[in-house]
Structure 1
Amino acid sequence: MDALLNRLINAFGVSGHEDEVKKVIEEEVKSMGFDCEEDKMGNLIVYLTETPGTKDKLMFCAHMDSMGLIANYIDDKGFVRVGALGDFEAANMINNFVTFENGTLGRICSAKKDAGIEDLFIDLGVKNREEALALIKEGNVAKFNGAVLEIGDNLVAPYMDNRIGCYILLKVLENLAENIKNHENYLENLNREYYFVFSTQNKLGGRGARAAAYHIEPDYSIVIDAEIAGDYPGGKSNISLEEGPSIKIIDRTLVVHHKAKEILEKSAQESDIKVQYSVGEEGTDGATIHKERSGVKTAVLSVPCRYIHTNEEMINIQDIKNSIKLILGLI
């Protein structure tokens, strides 16, 4: 697995606690020679323009945060009752391990066979509440642990949703840095101003993306995210791994703007990239972006992902490469 992607996946980044992921991204961006602005919501913003305010603005957005657990209550025996940060099936997480932000390890257990989030608890291996409080406190958050593997042409890891979006935007910036270095007046000749936003708190209602869109006031936005793939027994979507990135049509939070969608389609056609089209329930940062200011023409480019919202999500390597290629072609 690519070293950068591995670093992104292993960085702690539960929603509202994205500092480790942010540090990885900031180091990469600065090593490319770009300036990186952090706003009041903790979003990282990189922009490519020679003369701000003279051209249409297009904002790319990928969220840094991930789902996790929050310690709600520690009982007399030291067991930690938890709440969910983000959407996932509680039953999928039983018997797995979590790591709190301070490095404390725990095992996820359930009080019932058919568990909901209210039935989960974390066993820290202690005897009582006092011992538990020496390790963590109520309000601390934990990330899910999982293997990081390559299986054939696929990558399996926790938090592909949406460290893969961050990785794609960083690889695009890496290519653009080379173009700027090797071609005189490259920025001046761009047909738009381009903003790259690595957003916070997607799992808490897209708060970071909303603030970034308000600040930048883009004309267009392209959200980069992972999307449920349904090409396995029990799968419930119309997209598959290794069939190309997916352009969203509609979900419960967004009707994709046809002009933003056409920008993606034109790049795919010119770059000879096969794409899929998805219709789904899952929302993205596009839910809050498209309503900001006087409105933003918004589209979503997704990487198909099997077993999404578990601690072992699967994504195809070629779909990642084609997503990078499509965005570079667009720019």
Structure 2
Amino acid sequence: MEYMTVLKELSELTGVSGREYGISSYIANIFREYCDKVEIDKFYNVSGYKKGSDMAGKKIMIMAHHDEIGLLVKSIDEKGFIKFTNIGGIDSKILLAQEVVVHGSKDVYGVIGAKPPHLLKPEEAKKAVKMEDLYIDTGLSNESISKLVSIGDVITFKTYPFELRRDKLSSKCLDNRAGVAVLLDIMKRLSKLNHNHDVVFVATSQEELGLSGAKIAAYNINPDMAIVIDACHGEIPDGAKDETYALGNGPAIAIGPNLHRLYTKKIMDVAKEENIAYQVDVEPGNTGTEAWATQVSRSGIPTILISIPLKYMHTTIETVQISDIKSTGKLVSRFVSEL
């Protein structure tokens, strides 16, 4: 698999939470190359089923969300400027001077503007920027923009993925398109490995809005165990050392009371046997991931959490290292084949 190319393509797709219909079709088409059956449910979860060799085998679900954060049109003023709100967790500080795409009846390009520093009053200059003070300028009048854009239309960031040194990629929504890339890698590896159990790969929707897709998928599929692939905070100069993980040192395997102890130990043992580098993520409570929703579905699903270190989460320059994606795919595929 050409990891860099696949990840670039995935990150350029639009899939804001609640509006994942386009990306779900794209992912379903890729799933069909490796899976025996592929389905898209009413919430745009994409499920790919891969049969195991044992007719009496169990069902393993491997999950990664495919939605992204974005913005939503709130109003259009008399001069054509668009006011907006957020979909998912967005810090207003990252919004100034961003290029965006407003997805109306046709795509409209715009920029997020705000009062220049020269025009700020002294008391204003000391305050943090508020989303309600920002606006999108498309260059169109109210009459023109109102023919193309409606209240409730979604807005995405207009960014392009670009490569950094040492096999790193920077782009929007690598949280969690990197996880989707891992799903594809696992599928490809398992096509060359014997695995006794059935595997269901799920690219889930609306994770950024409260884990909705995971709740639906876990309930409907009802697996015997689940593996959740997500992103964790990458190591940065001012980040807490016990809450961030180095890029290039492999995935972070979570341990905690909500995660299955025996399966977690098993995947760590597999990592050691296969000489796959990994890090340990201590999660004493809510992981903030789909593992939290999955493990309490129905009568309970044994769940483990594997995370890809990612810098600058929920910005337009999220950054991952390709080797961590390869390591995660290799680790999970080996784990599944040994169950």
Could you state the TM-score of these two structures normalised by the residue count of structure 2?
0.87
Is the 1:210–1:289 Cα contact (8 Å) retained in structure 2?
yes
Alignment of 1:122-133 (within 5 A): 122-128=136-142, 130-133=143-146
CA pair 149-89 structure 1, distance change in 2 beyond 3 A: same
Structure 1 residues not aligned, in runs of 5+: 180-185
1:330 is matched with 335
CA pair 285-32 structure 1, distance change in 2 beyond 3 A: same
Amino acid at match of 2:163: E
Is the 2:32–2:48 Cα contact (8 Å) retained in structure 1?
no
Report the number of matched residues: 317
- What RMSD in Å do the two structures reach over aligned CA positions? 2.1
Match of 2:219 among 209, 214, 222: 214
Could you state the TM-score of these two structures normalised by the residue count of structure 1?
0.89
CA pair 117-161 structure 1, distance change in 2 beyond 3 A: same
1:183 is matched with none
Structure 2 residues not aligned, in runs of 5+: 116-123
CA pair 85-282 structure 1, distance change in 2 beyond 3 A: farther
Confirm or deny that 1:24 pairs with 2:26.
Answer: yes
Identity %: 32
2: CA distance between counterparts of 1:201 and 1:52? Answer: 34
1: CA distance between counterparts of 2:52 and 2:226? Answer: 19
Match of 1:301 among 298, 306, 330: 306
> Per-residue CA shift, 1:270-294, capped at 9, x if unaligned?
2211111124676111121111100
Deviates more, 1:233-242 or 1:308-317: 233-242
| Residue 247 of structure 1, CA deviation | 1.1
1:67 is matched with 69
1: CA distance between counterparts of 2:97 and 2:185? Answer: 35
After TM superposition, the runs of 4+ consecutive aligned structure 1 residues lying more than 6 A away are none
| Residue 50 of structure 1, CA deviation | 4.7
| Residue 53 of structure 1, CA deviation | 8.1
2:244 is matched with 238
Amino acid at match of 1:177: S
Amino acid at match of 2:107: G
Confirm or deny that 1:4 pairs with 2:6.
Answer: yes
Q: Name the SS for the 1:94 alignment partner.
A: coil
Alignment of 1:39-188 (within 5 A): 39-50=41-52, 54-101=56-103, 102-110=106-114, 114-128=128-142, 130-153=143-166, 154-179=168-193, 186=194
| Residue 134 of structure 1, CA deviation | 1.7
Is the 1:270–1:329 Cα contact (8 Å) retained in structure 2?
no
Amino acid at match of 1:289: T
Q: Name the SS for the 2:191 alignment partner.
A: helix
1:182 is matched with none
1: CA distance between counterparts of 2:205 and 2:290? Answer: 10
2:121 is matched with none
